[in-house]
Amino acid sequence: MRYLAGAEDLKRILSRIDGRGYKAYKDLQGDFEFDFFKIYIDHVQGDPFASPSKIRVRVSQDHAKLPDFLFENRIRQLALEDFLARKVKDAILRTNQKRRGSGKSGLIAVDSGGQEVLKRTAVVLTRKWVEARLHMGLPARGRRVLGEQAKEMFCRDIPQIIKGSLIWENLSEKEAQRFVECIENQEHIRKQLEALGLVAFVGDNSILPRESGAVDHPLSREHAVPFLSAEALRIEIELLNPIPGLSENVDSISGMGIPKGITLIVGGGYHGKSTLLRALERGVYPHIPKDGREYVVTSYDAVKIRAEDGRRVEQVDISPFIDTLPQGRSTTTFSTDDASGSTSQAANIMEALEVGAKVLLLDEDTSATNFMVRDARMQSLVAKENEPITPFLDRVRELYETLGVSTILVMGGCGDYFDVADCVIMMREFLPIEVTEEAKKITHTHTTSRKVEAKLPFSQRTKRIPLAQSFDPSRGKRQVKIDAKAKDLLLFGREPIDLRHVEQLVDLSQSRAVGYAVHLATKRFINGKVTLYQVMEAIEDFFDENGLDALDPFHRKERHPGNFARPRKYEIAAAINRLRTVRMQQKIEK
């Protein structure tokens, strides 16, 4: 039962339980009012080695005084909440945290995110108050309460953290405003892409290379080549806010527009082809200022596609790419526990289209070679009647003309794609050159004798109905047990979901939200009648209306929801498709 007490009551409880068994900390569960904030102790860990306790700290706007104009709309609120979460993290680091005993004793943490700006549950902002959701490791020696050290955490560290992060007079107005305006600019660009006939935009002077494959920070400008658009593709895009460092009167940004249709990114090895594609993959999310990619903006509906040997596939119609299989196995209702490179890539495309993808991003380095192309010589040796695969080369044009689905493809080894490309960008020493006309001339002077192998028009999309009974989130005595063990590994009940090749998942908290979103779908939307597409649309609407707090299956009003960051529907669907217990039935059109 919750009760409202004061700081002195909290101190008295900690004095009383000092030295007792760790479970005595449960006496803290409740609400405590301090001079300028309230502490809500929602969950107390069972022992010092368990997951940390969940604490909410709320400051009224009478004290915080955060200016209304910085969160006056949805995008600005997203940005300011993200900014404040990062400031909470900075303030935590300034408290000089130290180990205060066993296990996680002394830990204070907030889910502040990385280079991308995502909707999170870490900080919540309203007109009346601002709230930070923290995790605290309540201190113990062995499994005995260290009450005096806990007092330091609650009565010294927490007030310092709040003063340094949620009180406007202690924050930089210029820094906060620039952060919010940068995010708002990025989303404003994204909204303009459709009308401009673009699927992506890469701003001039962007820094695309990262420090390393394991570090997502930008490579220093001393070592990186700033991006500069090819002249033929340069456009100016309107901004809402000026960019710091430029004239205050500048209300647009120049950069490279990538048009709808089929775009090839070509060039020699190590010249920046895959670096550009990786920036476009991440461009579906806004980025923090000084990331280098903050003005790399991609259509929200862009999905990275790759081969994925060994993944499970359930009832997917891959017949546009693979028309027959040995032993008469169906490809219109294809299922397997161990997909090959080509069948997995075909399934990945059809599953992305099923839930609404409008742009496909592919790199030849992570694609199945036999899925991408069959050249004239191989066609001469292996007759089409003995080759079930229709290569992507013979479908990519149709995908755009029939379904309106664009493709951006990194291709360094096959000039046959010149025949179908609308735009060809050559990367040379990390700078783009538009070479479409030159590529088209090559198709005339170096003609190919290969034949188009598509037999039937690409007119169908997979439409499947997930079956609720095939989702089981229970483990042991727990009816719902979902763990994000890593960004790329999710445990759904007893079943691991391998997300290593779902490359647009960027955050552990996003993966955690994916797991709980799958559970939410089974409880609210999956009923044996609605398609996976309809389920994904319902989840998006649910997030828009209810936020992420409701993802917690044990959620009740006024409770710490855990660490969630909003995923896209494409990554939620990808997790469902990789859950090995899941069963689907194809929707029969009447």
Q: Where are the domains of the chain?
A: 4-171, 187-461, 464-586
398: three-class secondary structure by DSSP: helix
Question: What are 27's two structure tokens?
Answer: 């006496």
Predicted confidence at residue 457, as pLDDT, reads 84
Interval 246-270: pLDDT, tens: 655 578 999 999 999 999 999 999 9
Distance CA 67, CA 180 (A): 12
Distance CA 17, CA 114 (A): 38
For residue 502, give Cα distances in angstroms to 186, 314, 471, 505.
Answer: 24, 17, 20, 6
Bridge partner residues of 407 (DSSP): 262, 360
Question: Band of the pLDDT at 512, cuts 50, 70, 90?
Answer: very high
Residues in the chain: 590
Question: Band of the pLDDT at 104, cuts 50, 70, 90?
Answer: confident
Most confident stretch, 91-100, 216-225, 291-300, 319-328: 291-300
Question: What are 136's two structure tokens?
Answer: 């605290």
Bridge partner residues of 257 (DSSP): 201
Are the C-beta atoms of 487 and 511 separated by less than 8 Å? yes
Q: Within a 10 A sphere around the Cβ of 215, how many other Cβ atoms?
A: 9
Interval 107-160: pLDDT, tens: 999 999 999 999 999 999 999 999 999 999 999 998 999 999 999 999 999 999
Which segment of 61-65, 320-324, 563-567 scores lowest on mean pLDDT? 320-324
By C-alpha distance, which of 462, 465, 461, 464 is closest to 526? 465
Q: Considering all CA atoms of the chain, what is the largest pairwise distance in Å, rounded to the nearest integer? A: 88
- Interacting residues of 16 by C-beta distance below 8 A, sequence separation 6+: 27, 147
For range 436-458, the mean pLDDT: 90
What CATH number does domain 187-461 carry, 1.10.10, 3.30.1340, 1.10.3470, 3.40.50? 3.40.50
Are the C-beta atoms of 204 and 255 separated by less than 8 Å? yes
Q: Tell me the residue type at 74.
A: R
Reading phi first (left if > 0) and then psi (alpha if -120 to 50, else beta), residue 290 is in left
Question: Band of the pLDDT at 1, cuts 50, 70, 90?
Answer: very low
Residue with tokens 């009974």, as numbered in its chain: 469
- Write the DSSP assignment of 336-369 as a string of letters: ESS--HHHHHHHHHHHHHHTT--EEEEEGGGS-H
Q: How many CA atoms within 13 Å lie on the side-chain side of 198?
A: 22
383-391 long-range contacts, Cβ below 8 Å, gap at least 24?
384/451, 384/453, 387/453, 388/322, 388/323, 388/324, 388/325, 388/331, 389/321, 389/322, 389/342, 390/320, 390/321, 390/322, 390/323, 390/453, 390/454, 390/455, 391/321, 391/453
Within 460-521, strands assigned E span 464-466, 482-486, 489-492, 495-498
Question: What are 439's two structure tokens?
Answer: 């590529």
Question: What are 418's two structure tokens?
Answer: 């010149």
- Per-residue pLDDT for 99 more than 80? no
Bridge partner residues of 325 (DSSP): none
Distance CA 275, CA 430 (A): 8
Element at 237 (helix H, strand E):
strand 234-238
Per residue, the 3-state secondary structure of 281-332, as one string, reads HHCCCCECCCCCCCCEEECCCEEEECCCCCCCEEEECCCCCECCCHHHCCCC
- Choose between 557 and 359: higher pLDDT: 359
Question: What are 498's two structure tokens?
Answer: 């391998």
Q: How many CA atoms within 13 Å lie on the side-chain side of 537?
A: 9
Predicted confidence at residue 325, as pLDDT, reads 84
Interval 463-477: pLDDT, tens: 999 999 999 999 998
- Interacting residues of 168 by C-beta distance below 8 A, sequence separation 6+: 64, 65, 66, 67
- Per-residue pLDDT for 458 more than 90? no
Are the C-beta atoms of 140 and 63 separated by less than 8 Å? no
